[in-house]
Amino acid sequence: MQYKWVVDCDYDEQTVLELAEELGVPTLFARILLKRGIDSFERAKPFFRPDLESLHDPFLMKDMDLAVRRLHRALESGEKILVYGDYDVDGVSGASLLYLVLSQMVGPKVSYYIPDRITEGYGLSREAIAEHAEQGVTLIVSVDCGVTAVDEVAYANQLGVDVIVCDHHEPGETLPPAVAVLDPKRPDCPYPFKELAGVGVGFKFMQGLYKHLGLPESDLDPFLDLVAIGSAADIVPLVDENRILVRHGLDRINYNPRCGIRALLESSGMDRRELTVGSIVFIVAPRINAVGRMGDARRAVQLLTATSMQEARALARELEKENRVRRNVDENTFKEALEIVETRLDPINDKAIVLYKEGWHPGVIGIVASRIVERFYRPTIMISVVDGVGKGSARSIADFNVYEAIRECGDLLTAYGGHKYAAGLTIEQENIPAFVERFKAVAEERITPEMLIPKMTIECEACFNEFDERFIRLLKLMGPFGPANMRPVFMTRGARVVGQPTVVGSNHLRLRLEQNGVELDAIGFNLGDAIDLVYEKQFVIDCAYVLEENFWNGKKSLQLRLKDIR
């Protein structure tokens, strides 16, 4: 993929020098802080030391008082409570958190349910509601789903079951008739932070409950590991409350992981490394997701709520096995999708890609859609057709709201939901051709040629000799890195390739670079084709990269992760 480099390195040098002096940091580091709006000691302090005391009052969230009072009544009177999650990492971690907190209070009166991705699909299902109503459940608490389940919540009410919704997705025109709908994205919700993950909304609900009951909110701190995993996996912006919750959750995972997480880290070979947001996204989350994609996601909740290492290790082995199966299915589906794009479509002139086929596994189409976006940089929808019904997953590019585009095709769909960058849909097979035509028309109207050029924003130009140990320590304090607080992308001009560049693994470029007398190792994932450019430019290149620590054979070293070269 060819990037347009946007070099955003204009700084007022006097301001840089003043901030560097005030904070006692290198000027390069002061430039990074200024890009993030940190221009004084007062703003730097909460950024570097995100404090749980700075979390917002949960009762600022619309309906929090209603939700807390209804749950309190259920706990007091011994009602059967069902925690109803989603099958992705956010939903699984949210369900685990609510189940663990509530079962501490009332034990077996609380149960959990995760729908089957293939047979039930996303969200609340009438069948599951009816089944649990028969078992005596009188209160359902949904997490990471429910805000668009108008008919399903009404059905629950008919059966004498109350529902409390904890969600973070965009609501529809009508809210479900629940006792309470906790969702910061409600238009009438005054909550000051709108970007919580589903598990984050669930955590705020538990905070509200503890506050109402007069219990110490610090007793919820042990559950921040689950908040961190769900929030990181759901790619929410790591600012405001998310940054606080994920920072403290990562600390818990790294210093005192619960049984299930420890077993998962052992089985994936991550148990001796410091866990970061990146390792959650690329190592932990795929394994938790795999059991939901390929089978019963309740096994993931069993893992996260396990109380013994023996039980946890057995479940972690299952997740590892399912993840291997998922990767094989993923690879085969990607090859088929790639063939369709390259032989039947025009990815250069088409502004969106919609693919559909009978028999594709619904559990991997979202992953494959992401890979197609990476390859062609077009909004992509993959639809798996089974028994006349299509289940679709959509992934988008930076400046295109795929959820809004799908909503404009809503009359052709059975159901849909999601947000700006990712969405899901259900559609009858006979409506798919009309949907493809309509969605592409919306994309054609809204996407400009400029939007189809991926941009690489360069935050600072730097020399290798500026990266001393103190700078690296300061950089780590800026974490956790993720959306809205990404690792800074540096640019270095005229770096010289030392020795022979090589292509390793699945098309990854490995180099050793020298500049200003300092040599550093570099790896460029999926940049193997750029080796020709290295030879063409006689081993002298400009490079865009982020800094990270590499662990190899028990040793830690600084490494450049190349984003692009030219």
Q: What is the mean pLDDT of residues 244-272?
A: 92
Q: What is the structure's pLDDT at 372?
A: 94
pLDDT digits over 271-292, tens only? Answer: 777 889 988 988 888 898 888 7
Q: What is the mean pLDDT of residues 529-558?
A: 85
Total residue length of the chain: 566
Which residues, other chains included, contact 556 with Cβ-Cβ below 8 Å and sequence gap of 6+?
Answer: 549, 550
Q: Which CATH class is domain 4-12+456-565?
A: mainly beta
Q: What is the structure's pLDDT at 153?
A: 97
Q: What is the structure's pLDDT at 274?
A: 84
Tokens of 92: 């699984």
| Distance (Å, whole) CA 209 – CA 66 | 11
pLDDT digits over 337-382, tens only? Answer: 999 998 887 867 889 999 999 989 888 898 899 999 988 999 999 9
From 343-347, 367-371, 402-406, 512-516, the region with the lowest mean pLDDT: 343-347
Q: What is the structure's pLDDT at 107?
A: 85
Tokens of 238: 């790591």
How do strand 502-504 and strand 137-143 relate by DSSP bridges?
A: unpaired
* Top mean-pLDDT range of 2-11, 41-50, 240-249, 412-421: 240-249
226 and 249 Cβ atoms separated by less than 8 Å: yes
- Select 345-452's CATH number: 3.40.1160.10, 3.10.310.30, 3.40.50.10860, 3.40.50.720: 3.10.310.30
Q: What is the structure's pLDDT at 537?
A: 76
Q: What is the structure's pLDDT at 7?
A: 87
| Distance (Å, whole) CA 210 – CA 416 | 34
Q: What is the mean pLDDT of residues 317-346?
A: 89
Q: What is the mean pLDDT of the chain?
A: 92
From 429-438, 470-479, 547-556, the region with the lowest mean pLDDT: 547-556
Q: What is the mean pLDDT of residues 72-91?
A: 95
- Other CB atoms within 10 Å distance of the CB of residue 402: 25
Q: What is the mean pLDDT of residues 498-505?
A: 91
Q: pLDDT-based confidence at 270, cuts 50/70/90?
A: confident
Domains of the chain, by residue range, sit at: 4-12+456-565, 54-220, 345-452
280 and 253 Cβ atoms separated by less than 8 Å: no
223 vs 200, 251, 261, 266, 304, CA distance in Å? 11, 12, 12, 20, 11
Q: What is the structure's pLDDT at 149?
A: 93
For residue 304, pLDDT over 80 is answered with: yes
pLDDT digits over 415-429, tens only? Answer: 888 778 888 899 999
Q: Look-up: residue for tokens 């494959």?
A: 368
Write the DSSP string, 353-391.
EEEEEET--TTTHHHHHHHHHHHH-S-EEEEEEETTEEE
Question: Which has the higher per-residue pLDDT, 197 or 418?
Answer: 197
Residue 68 — left, alpha, or beta (φ > 0 → left; ψ -120 to 50 → alpha)?
alpha
- Select 54-220's CATH number: 3.40.50.720, 3.40.50.2300, 1.20.120.450, 3.90.1640.30: 3.90.1640.30
For residue 323, pLDDT over 90 is answered with: no
pLDDT digits over 22-60, tens only? Answer: 999 999 999 999 988 899 999 999 899 899 999 999 999
From 63-77, 203-217, 470-484, the region with the lowest mean pLDDT: 470-484
| Distance (Å, whole) CA 142 – CA 91 | 9
Q: What is the structure's pLDDT at 349?
A: 80
Same topology, domains 4-12+456-565 and 345-452? Answer is: no
- Tell me the pTM: 0.88
